[in-house]
Amino acid sequence: MMSKLTYLILPCASILALHAALAGVDVPLPRTESGQPDLQGVWFYGTSTPFERPESLGNKKTYTPEESQQLLTDLATADKSKAQPLDPDREAPVAGALIAQEADHNFASIRVNPVVIDGQYRTSQIIEPVDGRLPFKADGKDFFQQLSDQGHGSFDGPEIRPASERCVGPNGGPMAPMVGWFYNANMQIVQTDSHVMILAEMNHDARIIPIGSAVSDSGVFPQWMGKSVGHWEGDTLVVETDGFRPEQSWFAFPMSDQLKVVERFTLVSKDEIHYEFTFSDPGIYSESITAEKNISRRAPGEEIFEYACHEGNYSMSSILAGARRQELDQLVVPQ
């Protein structure tokens, strides 16, 4: 018998579908009036499973049952510890230490939501190459590395700052739901016979995907999130995208304007989408990469609210002003 704890932490599956599977009963998938799987609703695509596999795990694709249980225990413990009060007697931070996004981790990291495919707990979202790692080219350079090679400093202007810091384009990869972490990893799907719309909570970006069109190589100008077209292969929605802006390169997902992505959305129960994507980028990687994960439906009543990144946000001007101040301080004044 499955324990109550297992029900609570079982990722990306409804209790109804679980009971039906145990009973050997096929639960019909929800479908639109035209007969396609109904993907509409509000979904969560974050996961505690890393995008790249830790190097120490080599080609190990899945955890053993014992390792899986320990993983769940460790994740639950780590997630619970974030809610505990801080120690009032803790030491002060080291003077001059780098300040990162530690505060964000209290609501944006860990969580008990690992990738589970066919009942197996994955060690990474990437499944090809077999080592679960991004196969970087030795001479591959993204938009920001190219600017740096041309002599530009990291704080010369807003154009050389990351897209996420500038609040333009999605965060966590070039488009939802590709890479994603827990920070605002929600999206809403609206579906018709001719289009599928994916609204990402961050930065309230909408992908409008025409269905039944062919991918065009007619020199489309680069766009945030690229240009997507889709078609159905049986019950799987296949979306092909290219024409990305190279400024969307991200520390966890380096990319160039040569990036091409093929996504596959398969509704496996009313509350779960199996999501797989394969991407190639000859400007950065030596071969194509495939990743997969679960996408789970949000509970009834949970909706996406407006994500407003730049309202009252003066960080960019402050960052650049700080850089100009440092440059001024380094000037040698003639005596």
Phi and psi, residue 242, nearest 5°: -150, -170
**DSSP-derived secondary structure letter, 31:** B
pLDDT of residue 311: 62
pLDDT of residue 135: 96
Tokens representing residue 205 in the block? 């970006």
Identify which of 147, 144, 198, 149 has the alpha carbon closest to the alpha carbon of residue 175: 198
Spatial contact of 254 and 248, defined as CB atoms under 8 Å apart: no
pLDDT tens per residue across all 335 residues of the chain: 333 333 333 444 444 444 444 445 677 899 999 999 999 999 999 999 999 999 999 999 999 999 999 999 999 998 888 888 888 998 888 888 887 777 777 777 777 889 999 999 999 999 999 999 999 999 999 999 999 999 999 899 988 888 878 887 666 678 889 887 777 889 999 999 999 999 998 878 899 999 986 555 545 688 888 999 999 999 999 999 999 999 889 888 899 999 999 999 999 999 999 999 999 999 999 999 999 999 999 999 999 988 887 766 678 888 899 999 999 998 876 66
Q: Residue 324 forms beta bridges with which residues? A: none
Collapsing DSSP to helix, strand or coil, 211 comes out as: strand
pLDDT of residue 73: 93
Cβ neighbours around 20 below 10 Å, total? 14
Q: Report the distance separating Cα 59 and Cα 192, nearest Å.
A: 41
pTM of this prediction? 0.84
b vs e for 303-313, b when ≥16 Cβ sit within 10 Å of the residue's Cβ?
A: ebeeeeeeeee
Q: Residue 18 forms beta bridges with which residues? A: none
pLDDT of residue 3: 36
Q: Report the distance separating Cα 229 and Cα 120, nearest Å.
A: 32
Identify which of 169, 131, 127 has the alpha carbon closest to the alpha carbon of residue 277: 127
Residue 326: exposed, middle, or buried by beta-carbon count in 10 A (0-12, 13-18, 19+)?
A: exposed
Domain boundaries, the chain: 4-82+103-302
Spatial contact of 168 and 280, defined as CB atoms under 8 Å apart: no
pLDDT of residue 78: 87
How many residues in total does the chain contain?
335
CA angle 161, 166, 169 (to 5 degrees): 110
Q: In which residue are the tokens 């827990």 written?
A: 182
Residues 6+ away with beta carbon under 8 Å from 163: 169, 171, 247, 248, 250
- Secondary structure E strands in the chain: 41-44, 116-117, 120-121, 126-128, 186-191, 195-200, 205-210, 227-233, 236-242, 260-269, 272-280, 289-297
